[in-house]
Structure 1
Amino acid sequence: MKKMVRWALGGYIVYCIGIIGYFFLFAHPSIPSQWKGTAADPATFLTPNEQLLSEQYSRWKNVLFFLSIPYDWLIYLFILWLGIGKTLQRSAERTTKWFVLQVAFYMFWLSLLVTIWTLPIDWISYHISRAYGVSTQPISSWLHDQMINFLIQTAVFFLIALVIYSFIRRFDKRWWLYAWLVSVPLTVFFMFIQPVVIDPLYNDFYPLKDKALEGKILALAEKAHIPADHVFEVNMSEKTNALNAYVTGIGSHARIVLWDTTLERLQEREILFIMAHEMGHYVMKHIYWGVAGTILLLFVGLFITNRVVKWLIRTWGNSFHLQKIHEFASFPLFLLVFSLLSFVASPTVNFVSRQEEHAADQYAIQRTHDPEAAISAFQKLTKAGLSEVNPPTLVKIFRYTHPTIFERIVFLEQIKQKE
């Protein structure tokens, strides 16, 4: 075990050095020469200091992203290798004989451990955002959000574990199929409750104060057949200088939401383009396709997870302090395998998402016929969030669910040239 721990830590350190070296020595942002001096060139809408800050901020955030993923894997491995998972299971079994309470006990302490061990990465990310002026969130508010994250994570761990181990104990070979069948209504249920239950835990939502603007947005929504009677404003200025807007939820729980930072810094034409973009997702049923995609990925993921977890227990059970898959102590192994599968699938998921975002841009331009407003909106989004205009390919593949700002502005510039 000690040898495995040393190899894991040594491998992670070498990986960290490689990632830091890549981003600080080799990944230099640039755009193709033919687009120099155009609206897609950051030099035309960012000051030299803003360009420098954007490069530095993006570099640090990218480094943290690529370091945090294997860091999470190490946490799960250490919980298994050090026998912590087994200790928690025995404590749960000594505390109560009730299966549901045992699951709740185990998942609370596991979630607490994971939260504590990931807190340094989260803190560094928060500190960097504060240092570069992107985040405006006080430490007390940040800690409040961390507490909410912990409670939600605990509830999710409990629900997943309750479903998984209930079926494993009854159907050793087909548990993954029954768990997937249960996950389908749960996925849809969470899509319903997120706008009205989960999101308000983090921020205050209230009807848009600018009624004239609300009327214009609702007119766009009516043409798009979006069942919305109000546009909501959220007080994100208490936490960030970045800009955003979105349409969330499904059916009668659909919500059109604008960040107050967006309302403060964008002109009406720019806001209408952004809202038309978000409505494009609704019109093209991207939310429903997303739910269907999630359900499909869960089917494949649970099938593979069942095979891999059982193989790992047969092969490395002694090292993981595990004998059978139905033990609570195997849950960190489930998390590890599912996290690995999610990372492997992320390039494909992100690619599909970028195609949907591009389609929404096309829809918005067809409705607003205002590429100038769209271009200026993207430029202001870049400035406010210190976004990277044209990130390295590695970052785009694993991090970007949207086309890059460079790609979006080039698309709009090409439309202008055709007019």
Structure 2
Amino acid sequence: MKLKSFCVTAIFTVAAFFASLASASEQPTGATTAPVTNAHFQVEPVSDEWRAGLPRDADAATKAYLDRLSPEIVSRANAYFEGGYWLHLWNFLLGLVITTILISGKRAARVRDWSQRVGRKPFLRDMLFGAFYSVAGFCLSLPLSIYQGYVREHDYGMATQTFIPWFVEQLVGLGVNTVGLAVAVAILYAVMRRVGAGWWVWGASVSGGLLVVVLLIGPVWIDPLFNTYKPVENGAIKSAVLAMAKADGVPVDNVYEFDASRQTTRISANVSGIFGSAAVRLNDNLLRRTTLPEIRAVMGHELGHYVLNHIYKMIAEFVLILLAAFLFAQWAMAKLLVRYGERFALKGVTDVASLPLLSAVFSVFMFFATPVTNTLIRVQEIEADRFGLNLAREPHGAAEAFLKLTEYRKPDPGPIEEIIFFDHPSTRFRVHDAMRWREAMGTP
């Protein structure tokens, strides 16, 4: 249940460009394929009588739900999620190391000069450099990427691919990122050269424009490279989701599923779309691992993102963050280039060879802005949860789905920990919200 799964991915793809630039108790009717589940994560199912017999008090009902998570499940979820804190740090530090490797020995300058000889024109030169930077970042970060994306996911039972299919998808992603980065770098540096000292303001504006482009082309051209999309066959599920969508004016006439089980055991869904378009998409794990009430709860949440215009709000918020990041970069790059520019043959901030250094400056800003970006997303997730409860009216369905998300999210963090590291509310917070809604509405 991510914030418009694709949209968040798109936002962070563009944000990462400027930050690092590298890098159920019952099956729904009609599910004919065996569910892909995590052998390490099995929450015992309960009956409708158990749910009806829960205390009316939200705190007590929340405790009853969380008590269904065994100590082993909680321990494993905590270890997985807390390990992500360290991975966030290691990725940040690795980005700085990659920058050091690329600019030391005047390597970036030599690639710039080669790009100039081959491309001749500034725009083509910068495209070539951007493509080089994408491939170099991929290669230098590959060991950590293999551990983080393949080895670790298999260790925790969430990955379903063998290595070769997984690596092929990484190469496809590299191709997409290389083309996108080449074009983005060329546009960015063309704007920077033209506007002079005000480059940081225009840089944030260009980033916002690029973000919108990614949101427009991603669902149509990029997502199908990794998964197959087809209409949901289950009539009850499709009817329920379309009824909720039409009740809130979401312009869709079909519901699609995609084969995420090829890659993962995780459940997810999204409602993507911008400028009046919309597409409702559920992954096959959600269809096969959850009941109809859970699916209604999940899709009520996802429809909430669309109806509440979260994507537009998120774009505006991230453009403001990027504006601050560019301002920081203007200050930092001025100082760094004075001190190290001649040493590394960098001719100024508009020299594309300084891209690795600009990348490092952005990564520093975005690393320390993590609590801010996480909080912005988390607040919208809470809003979508509450919208979904009012739309689907399935507090137990929501709570059951939230328990399943414990597979990869620490269920009960401390308040400061949640603010800093969580881009979604914790399991305890979300289940309590559902039980509070149940208490207030007087439902069973």
State the partner residue of 1:59: 82
Q: Tell me if 1:82 matches 2:69.
A: no
Measure how far apart 1:61 and its partner are: 3.1
Measure how far apart 1:98 and its partner are: 2.5
Contact 1:263-1:271 at 8 Å conserved across structures: yes
Q: Distance in 2 between matches of 1:231 and 1:56?
A: 36
CA gap 1:178/1:375 in 2 versus in 1, 3 angstroms: closer
Matches within 5 A, 1:256-271: 256-271=280-295
Contact 1:194-1:249 at 8 Å conserved across structures: no
Contact 1:62-1:395 at 8 Å conserved across structures: no
State the partner residue of 1:12: none
CA gap 1:100/1:349 in 2 versus in 1, 3 angstroms: same
The DSSP-based 3-state class of the residue aligned with 2:83 is helix
State the partner residue of 1:95: 118
Q: Tell me if 1:377 matches 2:377.
A: no
Q: Tell me if 1:329 matches 2:334.
A: no
Q: Tell me if 1:408 matches 2:404.
A: no
Contact 2:99-2:357 at 8 Å conserved across structures: yes
The DSSP-based 3-state class of the residue aligned with 2:280 is strand
Q: Tell me if 1:387 matches 2:387.
A: no
Q: Distance in 2 between matches of 1:184 and 1:221?
A: 28
The structure in which a higher percent of residues are helix is 1
Worse overlay, 402-411 or 364-373: 364-373
Contact 1:164-1:175 at 8 Å conserved across structures: no
Q: Tell me if 1:148 matches 2:180.
A: no
Q: Return the TM-score normalized by structure 2.
A: 0.80
Contact 1:232-1:256 at 8 Å conserved across structures: yes
Deviations 1:241-284 (A, max 9, x none): 11111111213432111110010011001100110011111111
Contact 1:196-1:253 at 8 Å conserved across structures: no
Matches within 5 A, 1:178-327: 178-327=202-351
Q: Distance in 1 between matches of 2:197 and 2:222?
A: 35
Q: Distance in 2 between matches of 1:69 and 1:260?
A: 33
CA gap 1:74/1:40 in 2 versus in 1, 3 angstroms: farther
The DSSP-based 3-state class of the residue aligned with 2:281 is strand
Q: Which has the higher contact order (CA 8 A, sep 6+)?
A: 2
CA gap 1:36/1:386 in 2 versus in 1, 3 angstroms: farther
State the partner residue of 1:15: none
Contact 1:246-1:258 at 8 Å conserved across structures: yes
Deviations 1:273-318 (A, max 9, x none): 1100111111111111112222223333333323321221012224
CA gap 1:60/1:296 in 2 versus in 1, 3 angstroms: closer
Worse overlay, 158-167 or 286-295: 158-167
Measure how far apart 1:85 and its partner are: 0.9
Measure how far apart 1:153 and its partner are: 2.4
Q: Distance in 2 between matches of 1:391 and 1:77?
A: 36
State the partner residue of 1:21: none
Measure how far apart 1:149 and its partner are: 2.4
Contact 2:244-2:392 at 8 Å conserved across structures: no
State the partner residue of 2:421: 399
Any stretches of 5+ residues in structure 1 without a counterpart? 1-33
Q: Tell me if 1:115 matches 2:138.
A: yes
Worse overlay, 296-305 or 136-145: 296-305
Measure how far apart 1:330 and its partner are: 0.3
Matched letter for residue 295 of structure 2: I
Measure how far apart 1:402 and its partner are: 1.0
Q: Distance in 1 between matches of 2:330 and 2:248?
A: 42
CA gap 1:415/1:37 in 2 versus in 1, 3 angstroms: closer
Q: Distance in 2 between matches of 1:112 and 1:379?
A: 39
Measure how far apart 1:59 and its partner are: 3.4
Deviations 1:215-252 (A, max 9, x none): 11011001111111111101001111111111112134
CA gap 1:237/1:123 in 2 versus in 1, 3 angstroms: same
State the partner residue of 1:10: none
The DSSP-based 3-state class of the residue aligned with 1:333 is helix
Q: Tell me if 1:157 matches 2:181.
A: yes
Q: Distance in 1 between matches of 2:417 and 2:114?
A: 42
Worse overlay, 70-79 or 267-276: 70-79
Worse overlay, 253-262 or 166-175: 166-175
Measure how far apart 1:398 and its partner are: 4.0
Deviations 1:107-129 (A, max 9, x none): 22221111011111111112011
Matched letter for residue 423 of structure 2: T
State the partner residue of 1:347: 371
Contact 1:73-1:336 at 8 Å conserved across structures: yes
The DSSP-based 3-state class of the residue aligned with 1:391 is coil
CA gap 1:287/1:321 in 2 versus in 1, 3 angstroms: same
Measure how far apart 1:339 and its partner are: 1.7
Percent identity of equivalent pairs: 26
Any stretches of 5+ residues in structure 2 without a counterpart? 1-56
Contact 1:203-1:236 at 8 Å conserved across structures: yes
Measure how far apart 1:345 and its partner are: 2.3
Measure how far apart 1:358 and its partner are: 0.9
CA gap 1:37/1:123 in 2 versus in 1, 3 angstroms: farther
Matched letter for residue 348 of structure 1: V
Measure how far apart 1:60 and its partner are: 3.0
Q: Distance in 2 between matches of 1:218 and 1:352?
A: 29
Matched letter for residue 97 of structure 2: L
| Matched positions, count | 384
Contact 1:207-1:231 at 8 Å conserved across structures: yes
Q: Distance in 1 between matches of 2:414 and 2:147?
A: 22
